[in-house]
Structure 1
Amino acid sequence: MADVNLHCSVGAGVCFLPSPVEHDKEFFYPRYHHREFRFDLSKIPEGEAVTAAEFRIYKDYIRERFDNETFRISVYQVLQEHLGRESDLFLLDSRTLWASEEGWLVFDITATSNHWVVNPRHNLGLQLCVETLDGQSINPKLAGLIGRHGPQNKQPFMVAFFKATEVHLRSTRSTGGKQRSQNRSKTPKNQEALRVANVAENSSGDQRQACKKHELYVSFRDLGWQDWIIAPEGYAAYYCEGECAFPLNSYMNATNHAIVQTLVHFINPETVPKPCCAPTQLNAISVLYFDDSSNVILKKYRNMVVRACGCH
């Protein structure tokens, strides 16, 4: 995360600012482990409203110790710090995942980022904690979460998106030289782009429409397979449906490619469509059936049940 410059799209009226972790500290209170992260948001221009902000942290694959364990990872805003006792916190986002999962985890921190921009002295950072489903606190490092001292391509960071004013657009154009200033007259898209930005901003909190898993029961009798399938009579297959809209949050299990594609679509909707909502994890089922010779066979069929959905 060496690049911390402000990036603006001249045609779309959108800017984004990646910000590395400035401070990363582990805490080990009795029975409660957590980690705190702080960011410098001073490069966000004064008076700008953040339309979306995300905290991204990488989780490595871990072996043996937490086999078949499920983690709940929660990110909190630190409201007030106290000497000798735990800080006052406000839950921003959380997600549940298998201990064996690896990849970038994305948490929505839009609300607190706007608060920090308006009131910088209230920027006390984020607190991250990891728990098992029965409430046992886990050291984030042992859970595979990479801090600011990890490999450079896996260090945590936050990224803030906001609408660019004409001042920022002119600044971006001037640094691009003659060719960009010539192209300016050919890209009168600001109004349309801002309309798209408004739609994205208004719909980003609507989790009902976001990509997620839905109920689907498949009856083998309805498919006409009851004569050769002995058991089960059917099964819960589930299916994936929903929007993969900007910004992609932690509930959407998005790939890095989908995140980039969503940003490109947000900046220029005519260039590329939104990512698709599809299964990211599938489970097997066992089926007892008659084969062609009327032998009874028990077979496990892979990838039959949707376990999780995401944006691809």
Structure 2
Amino acid sequence: YGREEGQKVQFRFDIEELLNSEDIARAQLRAFKVKGSRTKESPYRVSVFHVVGDGELAGSGERRHYLQNPFNSSTAIRLLDSQILESRQAHWVTFDVTKAVQLSQELHLATVSLEVSYTPVNPIEVAASSRGIRFTRSRGRPPSLVVYTEKPYPSPEDDDDRDTRNSVPFDDSTTYDVAATYCQKRELWIDFSSLGWNWIIAPRGFDAFMCTGDCGLPTVVSMKSKITNHAYLQAVMGSKHSSIPEPCCSPTKLKNMTLLYLYGSGYKLKSYEQMVVESCGCE
């Protein structure tokens, strides 16, 4: 869950299922940053801290990396990641929180607490009405903790049941994602009347569906839909090189639809190809 206080927001994630799992290789905090309230906003430095009880660090070799929390003397904090973001842009943001999850696993802590704070890069230029940096906690785009272990990503060659699209299988022993942000099919209602296409007699509207969602690492490993081998390799390379974009979430199967519409002085019934999405994947 998340709790906002002034220029900081706190997130707590339940990681009890990870305590007895394999060694953690990497962990990420993913949060969706909403658009700012003004057309022009100043950049902010956004920092992520691990918050842990001071007593829980006793005897740990990691204690030297933590400082006493100035707002709560019973806890200690450690800077995990820091980025400069502009509040006027809305997009997903990823922070490296590997050290926090690794330590929580080592100390057998069932929850990991993260604090995200933001400060303006140029305080003088910040407008009084600026809302700063805000992260949504809605059901559609909730913050998530993505963790994957030392076990390597599944290789396409390891799949004995590859279909004609050469898909990479879902392996829930490797990735733990608390939010369903992967590429998937969602509703998209088409209303011909609202488009001004009044020559179409029937149907007056239909659900064409659409494909939307994340196709980058590590999400593609945990997604329920299929991905091509090429998309898998592109996602791997994209995680290492920022110049390489993520694969695209797009339809993998569509079906036809029949329309009745005005044609000259009469009517015409015609079947149009690839009108309705049946399934989605990363390509």
For Structure 1 versus Structure 2, the TM-score category normalised by the shorter chain is 0.3 to 0.5
Higher normalized helix content (fraction of residues): 1
- Using structure 2 for the length normalisation, give the TM-score: 0.47
